[in-house]
Chain A
């Protein structure tokens, strides 16, 4: 699954540590999501969506390779 988390985080001037603290996960988890090595759970995806005030599907999207 692809995502725009890194771009959105930069637009809002959050560090990985800031975002991790707000979402309630570790910095490593934010890093793994940004690098698309790990897909977040639905609750985490919803929390990210709520924070950036964007629908989930505009942040996370499926791209067939």
Chain B
């Protein structure tokens, strides 16, 4: 069981990194590699999308293979992260719409916030059961 969990974690890490890599290619490729060629750009975006879907499946497999305590820890963290993402995301958007901040609200900032929140919450929840 432990071996299978490690294998699932490894698979998830591989798909996550390949998703990040294809995201970087799709983002910077049009400007620095293929000079804005629209077919290549569409292909890069499609490849990135497919890798994202495969990463989600790998994450589901990893999650389903966790034991009951680990699943509880991750579920609690996910619930809080989802709530935080909606509340903070909409507040951030409101700040932009009402011109209380003098720059555009970037989705990447929200992604970073969600990732860090999840990481911190999983750490806190794991420590609660030590």
Contacts and interface: CB of A to CB of B under 8 A. Distances in A.
A31 interface: yes
B129 interface: yes
Nearest to B72: A38
Contacts of A25: 1, 67-69
A21 B67 CA distance: 12
Contacts of A40: 68
A29 B128 contact: no
Interface in B1-50: 1-2, 5
Interface of A: 21, 24-26, 28-29, 31-32, 37-38, 40-41, 44
Given A28-B129, A32-B129, A40-B68, 6 more contacts: A21-B1, A28-B69, A29-B70, A32-B130, A37-B128, A38-B69
